[in-house]
Amino acid sequence: MMTKRLPCPPAPGPLEDYAARFDDLFSALAQRRGFREYLAGLLAPRDRNKTLTCLAGAEPVVGAQHPAVQRLQFFLSESVWDPEKINVRRLELLAADPATAPHPGGVLVVDDSGDRKDGTATAHVGRQWVGRLGKTDNAVVTVTTLWADERVYYPLHAQPYTPARHYPQGKNDPAFRTKPQIAVHLVGKAVAAGFGFAAVVADCAYGDNATFTHEIGQVAGLPFVLALKPHKGTWAPARSPHTPVDAARALAWDGPTRPGAWKKVIRRFRDGHTATWWAADAVLGGWGPWRRIRLVVATTDPATLPERTTWYLITNLPRPDSPRAAAGPHPAADLAEIVRLYGLRNWVEQGYKQVKDELGWADFQVRSDAAIRRHQTLVHCAFCFCWHAGPADTPQSDTPPPPPRTQTGEREDEERGAHTPATGRAAPLAAGDPRGARLADPRDHAHALVAGMVTDAPTG
């Protein structure tokens, strides 16, 4: 005989409506309450790190034994609930909302992100490259996927990478997976979840990996636009180009009035300004305009190929005027579309800023694999709640607007903070500063976070 569920103390403001949609996935009142309290703590103003004590508004050291802190610790580490089911529900809510529903004009961004961690006892920790720090350090690295278009962006799946030292047989252990192998698995989960996209997009860490390219393009049959390192060498006849930058320099360029193979691409930014880029199909080894894989170079200056504003991209999307355009499995894409698709990758950098700097992605104080994955899932829920409770002027169209032919964000501008709100209005300030051992009210802070997503992000 089933007993009637006890009512759960409601979360503050619009968070209750969002949290209630997950209630059937929790078997106990304490779990439903913990879910609300954890999300409320993540959404609170970032006056301190989002550690367990700070989530509950307790002192960092002496407050560790406070009942509110212990309750959150148990919810994260010991309580019985499945983070995968929570993530599936989160994605269902995103897909059902016209403002965030995926469509074929977006991209699936594959990336990984590292967070420094001391010691050796934490699951997945090891010495590895941390892009955020620009060096090798003791860290936990997580492979992620993110869906994005010109309007919205949100994380889909995440899986921590486990270094070889954690396995009895090292890299030869059957359970060991490289980051590209994990990424292929996560791409498959995104497809299975029904998140359509125009291309899988990733930086050179994945574009330079032949196994990843083969698994995505030929085994899975998915379209992709992937970056290469400028000096990635490949076999070619002695007098032919051997690197992407060599292939770019082989293209004729006599200035804007005589561009040769280069085509002008106008990129529009969120603050209203535009920038002129140039793009061209190049030939390198077995890659070329009419081959199964194209090499596309996009730059602000074909004469000098500046390092910070030049992309070397491979794609299996055919040229509009090629025989493969009619016979191939993927739609044709001109140079402007290739630039647009790869430019949407910048949303993952914007997302990292928000999940790390605002929502406390790296602030977990747990060591087990299960607790780390739960924390990451809860951060993703908090992130997507901001879209759920967004300002009234967030786009709410049933039919997503057709993607523009040009892309709108440069990473170097984003890093300098050069983008200003297009609306001319200031983002609302966050309220609800915690005082004492209690949870802050995220009612206004959610709007502040989503305003930062919409107005300060690099694409438009």
For every residue of 158-208, DSSP letters joined together read EEE---GGGSTTGGGSTT---HHHHHHHHHHHHHHTT---SEEEE-HHHHT
pLDDT computed for residue 266 by the predictor = 93
Give the range among 24-33, 233-242, 279-288, 408-417 with minimum mean pLDDT: 408-417
CA 110 – CA 98 distance, rounded (Å): 24
The rounded radius of gyration (Å) of the Cα atoms in the chain is: 23
Would you say residue 450 has pLDDT above 70? no
Copy the structure tokens of residue 315.
């794609």
Closest by CA position to 206, among listed 143, 129, 280: 143
Strand partners, 275: 267
Q: Poorest-confidence range of 12-16, 80-84, 132-136?
A: 132-136
SS3 (DSSP) at 389? coil
pTM value? 0.84
pLDDT (tens digit per residue) in 139-196: 899 999 999 998 899 999 999 999 998 999 999 999 999 999 999 999 999 999 999 9
The CB density around residue 165, as the number of other CB atoms within 10 Å, is 11
Q: Which residue has the tokens 């029904």?
A: 194
CA distance 349 to 286: 32
Share of the chain above pLDDT 90, in %: 53
pLDDT of residue 243: 95
Host H or E run for residue 281? strand 274-282
Domain spans, the chain: 15-88+369-456, 105-348
Cα 306 to Cα 304: distance, rounded to the nearest angstrom: 6
Number of H helices, E strands in the chain: 15, 10
Cβ pair 158, 115 in contact under 8 A: no
Specify the pairing of strand 126-130 against strand 153-160: unpaired
Mean pLDDT across the chain: 83
- How many other C-beta atoms lie within 10 A of the C-beta of residue 440? 24
Q: Which CATH number fits domain 105-348: 3.90.1690, 3.40.50, 3.90.350, 2.60.40?
A: 3.90.350
Average pLDDT (296-317) is 97
For residues 217-232, average pLDDT: 95
End-to-end distance of the chain based on CA atoms, in angstroms?
54
- Cβ pair 143, 181 in contact under 8 A: no
What is the rounded CA–CA span in Å between residue 349 and residue 414?
A: 9
Candidates 444, 388, 365; CA nearest to 38 is: 365
369-388 vs 346-357: helix axis angle to the nearest 10? 110
| DSSP H or E run through 336 | helix 335-343
Mean pLDDT over 270-274 rounds to 76
The pLDDT assigned to 430 comes to 35
Distance CA 177, CA 67 (A): 39
Tokens of 395: 């786009």
Cα gap 121→140, rounded to integer Å: 11
Flag the least confident range among 300-314, 327-341, 347-361, 438-452.
438-452
- The rounded distance, in Å, linking the Cα atoms of 373 and 228 is 31
Between 122 and 410, where is the model more confident? 122
Note the pLDDT of residue 422: 35
Task: Please check the confidence at residue 102 and state whether its pLDDT lies above 80.
Answer: yes
The mean-pLDDT minimum among 161-165, 337-341, 443-447 falls in: 443-447
pLDDT tens per residue across span 358-395: 888 888 777 899 999 999 999 999 999 988 887 534 44
Q: Which of 17-21, 54-58, 427-431 has the lowest mean pLDDT?
A: 427-431
Closest CA to 90 of 376, 430, 459: 376
Query: Do the strands 274-282 and 263-268 form a parallel or antiparallel pair, or are they unpaired?
Result: antiparallel
